[in-house]
Structure 1
Amino acid sequence: MRFKPMQAIGKNKQMIGVFGGLNQSSVGADNEFLDMKNVSSRLYPSLTAPVANDDFYTAEKPCQIFVKNEIYLIDENSIMRQRENGSKRILNLYRNKLDRTLVGMGAYICIFPDKQVYNTATGELLDMEASYTQSGSISIAPVSEGSSFVKIQGTNLGKAFNKDDVVTLSGFTQYTDVLNGAKAIKEIGDNFIVITAVDENGAALRSITEERGVKIERKLPDLDFVCEFNNRLWGCSSANHEIYASKLGDPTNWNSYQGTAADSYAVSVGSDGNFTGVISQQGYVVFFKEDYIHTIYGTKPSNFSLDTVQARGVAEGCSRSLCHVNETVMYVGRDAIMAYTGGMPESVSDKLDLRWTGAVANQWRGMYFVDLILGDTRTTYVYDLKNNLWMKEDSHTNKLISRFYSNGVLYESYADDRDLYSRAIGLSDGKWFDVDWYLESVYLEEGTIDQKKVHSLQFNVELEVDAYFAVYVRYDNDVTWRRVASVTADRRNTYTVPLKLKKCERYQYRLEGHGWFILYGMSKTIGKGSER
């Protein structure tokens, strides 16, 4: 009897020289990973360790970081320059949560909720709000006969204010409709202010005195979130359902309505929910709620307009995830991490399977560094916008209170750590030598659910001296990782690590190591087996 010759089972060799990032969905590509730690795509298409996050200064106590030409440190009750001879200024409030909103405007650092302004040029710390309460007799009289300019004079009456401030006057018992209300200060001295006022008939006021009860105030609304745009501060209040803008060039005046292009601005918002964040973007200001995006267009109060769209906005507790990465606004929403360039935002986190309760983020070298609060831990994830990849760095339990980008450097500070950290490319080209890392592949089925034989698996890895690298595998539904190869580098070199695997339906590999590395590529030779 003659039998038909059996055909040899073919082998298929595949090369992978372009690596993807995290993919925690049900189906992933061969070059993607279910999990990783301390891996970066900055050498794409290869993978390597992240740039080292080096400590550069030890503060007196944990603090927030702000950079305005120099580094400034803001702790629970003070602000100071980071340099050793920097003088400390005491803030109005004691904030042990270290959760102040810090906004730069010209030479100023505007500090909320303290409502103070630090002048970086002079070192002065000024209050945005100011008030005078009458403590003795004051006089009110025209500056000259028949004049509409009225001088209000009393001991220290003008000391807390500035020329052109718009203040609210109250407590006048004479000319109540004329003197009580918002007035612009035309001239000022320590003991007087000059305003404009005429009686109900348009005539000049007569000279009068007031003995008690007069109050003069420069007030700011209580703001939930604040940003700077076009030389104004912009803020919002969930309690009042309003959006505000300061007077042009003046962070202390929010009630100036004099009919000029420099006026303050306010508008009511009718959408449901609390405000969750604000940022400027491509010539306009964008206010977020969890389910709405409110955009202010225009260049001056007379042409400011509000546009509202229903879309996924910033999640509660994630206002500090808002930042620009190149020309894109990135932020963490309720159930997705979003990219926004105007119009409608888009999710970039479909490959992540995570549930977060808070986030702090900023950008560095075209990547979005976001610290996600996941239960009791915080983990840094990095989104590479250019290559559309998610990478993962380390997890920790210490609360990140500052992540600030300036002049090519990413600064960080933590709630329980006096050390301050920075990430930058320096003389070492950012190599991180003392780093533990791993990569865990997706489940690999090689295009068939049949049994298959992995004849060879090779990895091309560059290691620094004393760096360590090991390969682990597991098969089918096994939960145990088995080490199948390892290398310890005795010199800087590129190593090819070959290995053979057993027959299986599917498998995973895990690369694990310590020290600086570059993963250039891998290859695998697969032989098809039977259905059993």
Structure 2
Amino acid sequence: MILPQFATSRSPVQEQMVQFAGLDFRYGRDGAVWDGDGFSSDRYPSLSPRLPTETVDEYREPSRVFAYGGGFLVVDGNELKWNGETVTTLENTENLLIAGINSKIVIFPQKLAVDVSGSTPKLESLECTLKGMLRYQVSANEYVEDEGQYFDLLRCYYKDNTPFLFEGLRINDTISISGLRYKDHDKEGNPIVNLKIEAITIRYISPDKEQIGFYANSLPKLIKSGLPKPMTFKRVVPDVDTLCESNNRLWATVGNTIRASALGDPTNWNRYDGLSDDSYAVDVATDGAFTACGHYGTHVAFFKENVIHKIYGSRPANYQMVSAVVPGVTSGAARTLATVGGVLYYVGNGGVYAYDGDCPTCISLPFAGRTIVPHFGVGTAQNYYLYADIGSGDMLLCYDTRKNVWSVENRLWLTDATYSDGKRYDLCTDGRLLRSGAGNENVEWWVQLADIDEGASERKRYQKLTIRCQMNGESTLRVDIRAGKGSWHEVFAAQGAHSDVLYIPVYPVHCTSLGIRFRCTGDVTIHSITRQFVALSDLGG
């Protein structure tokens, strides 16, 4: 019996094009990058180099950089520098908290401010303490003609009647005063001495600095000062654990309390006069310590490891707090917090997260559960950069927020990074401050792709791999392959510009898995890999 023959259009050799998917350690991801350095997602889904960099400044032992108002504040050894000029020296440069407000950059725990509004930076202390052996004189409810209103006025004198000057204090400063004598008696009938006023706001200072005034009837009834007694006037700034700026206020946490400075004034944290520019404080009852805080478009977010407290509102009278039990910032990762396109990015327990005001989303699934040892993060117009160790040494990872892919920007030894005028600046341990996207650097970069392993290797036999790429300028390209876990062998090399697209054939050896690595210099774009294979039967024939 003769059976009919059916024609088939199936070719014994089949083709499959693979496009690249960024850094991804998950198994079975075609086109994933397993390792590399200096590549970017700028031409995604093609592989291409990062932008060139150039050195813009050099320092001795830099540890921190903060861009603000068109300049750079750098911690160099124990020196604090603004645009290369030493402003002061710091005794302790560990765990610095830095933020900008108006024309000032504030530094904690030193409680210093650098005013950068002028041609020369001006150093200020956030706190102010005045003390001495003094007598005082109070004029209650006295009219001040220049101000057109009544005040409680206070003058102080030394033993020889020399006036005490209230230098360093300003109108609207909320201060504490100790050493006054209150017109009252204790249980034994003795007059109370050394009364301390915890918080009172200065509303008037005489031009000669010899007299300060408070709202009328705001001072308690004081008895006349006798012999000079120790007196202290102090503007207090809290010792904060976390710090950020939002809507012209400094926000911070102190223990389990959320606090905010007075509006536009980083020196006053204890003003509670019922006005819109007052300070603010609220306690929370959730477990654990605060790990970070940051500004989000509609609110200020305060992070613990598993909780986010959100403060909404425009002034103390209408501030309200909403809390959510979600992944927060892991302990020690406060510097990874950065904003890109209105989204907060940070390292939390279990990965890297994107917070859009609702529930944080994990964006580090491509890391396949690898442990992340974070150092710092910085945001640009489109990318979130994270300097961390994910198992193969410290590297600057780049997450493209529009394309949702990771890449390895560089493996330099960095201490900090910042963003200014559309450029990212990297601070290296060797003292260089590098500007990205500038200069004539011929970038050296390399990429190792995920091994080609179909999971059922006996059912496919690879005939040829065709790599499609372009080379411009003074560029070089080398292609290496390896069988299984064997040694790398170079199978192709080229240099110089090529006007047309290059098609590079690679003939693999028979193996269960095949590794491919590209080593490039300069402007090389690798578009895709086409795999030609013969599909075998289930019996291997």
TM-score, normalised relative to structure 2 = 0.86
1:456 alignment counterpart: 464
2:420 alignment counterpart: 406
Q: 1:145 to 1:284 in 2, by over 3 A?
A: closer
Q: 1:364 to 1:199 in 2, by over 3 A?
A: closer
Deviation at 1:78, TM superposition (A): 3.8
Say if 1:291 and 1:310, in contact at 8 Å, map to a contact too: yes
Q: 1:52 to 1:199 in 2, by over 3 A?
A: closer
Partners of 1:480 and 1:5 lie apart in 2 by 48
Partners of 1:184 and 1:199 lie apart in 2 by 9
1:235 alignment counterpart: 252
Deviates more, 1:149-158 or 1:37-46: 149-158
Say if 1:453 and 1:502, in contact at 8 Å, map to a contact too: no
Partners of 2:5 and 2:512 lie apart in 1 by 27
1:226 alignment counterpart: 243
Q: 2:395 aligns with which of 379, 393, 397?
A: 379
Say if 1:468 and 1:488, in contact at 8 Å, map to a contact too: yes
- Tell me the SS of whatever aligns to 1:208: coil
Partners of 1:381 and 1:339 lie apart in 2 by 15
Partners of 2:342 and 2:499 lie apart in 1 by 39
1:381-530 residue pairs with structure 2 within 5 A? 381-396=397-412, 398=413, 400-414=414-428, 416-424=429-437, 426=438, 432-445=441-454, 448-475=456-483, 477-489=484-496, 494-530=501-537
Partners of 1:484 and 1:418 lie apart in 2 by 39
- Tell me the SS of whatever aligns to 2:335: helix
- 1:236-271: CA deviations, max 9, x gaps? 12xx31110001111100000011111100011111
Q: Kindly provide the amino acid, as one letter, of the partner of residue 24 in structure 1.
A: F
Q: Kindly provide the amino acid, as one letter, of the partner of residue 421 in structure 1.
A: L
Q: 2:214 aligns with which of 182, 188, 195?
A: 195
Deviation at 1:437, TM superposition (A): 1.4
Deviation at 1:80, TM superposition (A): 3.5
Q: Kindly provide the amino acid, as one letter, of the partner of residue 27 in structure 1.
A: G
Say if 1:458 and 1:497, in contact at 8 Å, map to a contact too: yes
Q: Kindly provide the amino acid, as one letter, of the partner of residue 420 in structure 1.
A: L
2:105 alignment counterpart: 109
Say if 1:472 and 1:511, in contact at 8 Å, map to a contact too: yes
Partners of 1:171 and 1:73 lie apart in 2 by 40
1:149 alignment counterpart: 152
Partners of 1:45 and 1:162 lie apart in 2 by 59
Consecutive unaligned residues in structure 1, runs of 5 or more: none
- Tell me the SS of whatever aligns to 2:229: coil
Q: 1:191 to 1:417 in 2, by over 3 A?
A: farther
Say if 2:180 and 2:222, in contact at 8 Å, map to a contact too: no
1:169 alignment counterpart: 177
1:95 alignment counterpart: 92
Partners of 2:293 and 2:101 lie apart in 1 by 15
Q: Kindly provide the amino acid, as one letter, of the partner of residue 228 in structure 1.
A: E
Partners of 2:348 and 2:391 lie apart in 1 by 17
Q: Kindly provide the amino acid, as one letter, of the partner of residue 490 in structure 2.
A: R
Partners of 1:417 and 1:359 lie apart in 2 by 17
Q: Kindly provide the amino acid, as one letter, of the partner of residue 242 in structure 2.
A: F
Partners of 1:230 and 1:209 lie apart in 2 by 47
Partners of 2:462 and 2:252 lie apart in 1 by 60
Partners of 1:157 and 1:74 lie apart in 2 by 35
Deviates more, 1:505-514 or 1:165-174: 505-514
Partners of 1:490 and 1:182 lie apart in 2 by 72
Partners of 1:336 and 1:480 lie apart in 2 by 33
- Tell me the SS of whatever aligns to 1:258: coil
- Tell me the SS of whatever aligns to 2:534: strand
Q: 1:328 to 1:355 in 2, by over 3 A?
A: same
- 1:160-191: CA deviations, max 9, x gaps? 21111010112323346986231111212433
Say if 1:328 and 1:340, in contact at 8 Å, map to a contact too: yes
Identity of paired residues, percent? 24
- Tell me the SS of whatever aligns to 2:314: coil
- Tell me the SS of whatever aligns to 2:516: strand
Partners of 2:246 and 2:81 lie apart in 1 by 25
Partners of 2:229 and 2:477 lie apart in 1 by 81
TM-score, normalised relative to structure 1 = 0.88
- 1:270-305: CA deviations, max 9, x gaps? 111121111110121001111111111111111111
Q: 1:61 to 1:350 in 2, by over 3 A?
A: closer
How many positions carry a matched residue from both structures?
Answer: 512
Q: Kindly provide the amino acid, as one letter, of the partner of residue 338 in structure 1.
A: Y
2:187 alignment counterpart: none
1:52 alignment counterpart: 52
Say if 1:168 and 1:183, in contact at 8 Å, map to a contact too: yes
- 1:420-474: CA deviations, max 9, x gaps? 11113x586xxx51413123234331x8443422222111222244533222233
Say if 2:135 and 2:225, in contact at 8 Å, map to a contact too: no
1:369 alignment counterpart: 385
- Tell me the SS of whatever aligns to 2:154: strand
Say if 1:364 and 1:409, in contact at 8 Å, map to a contact too: yes
- 1:350-400: CA deviations, max 9, x gaps? 11032123221112340111100357931111111111111123334x3x3
Partners of 2:81 and 2:495 lie apart in 1 by 47
- Tell me the SS of whatever aligns to 1:302: helix
Say if 1:452 and 1:504, in contact at 8 Å, map to a contact too: no
1:181 aligns with 2:181: no
- Tell me the SS of whatever aligns to 2:317: coil
Deviates more, 1:330-339 or 1:504-513: 504-513
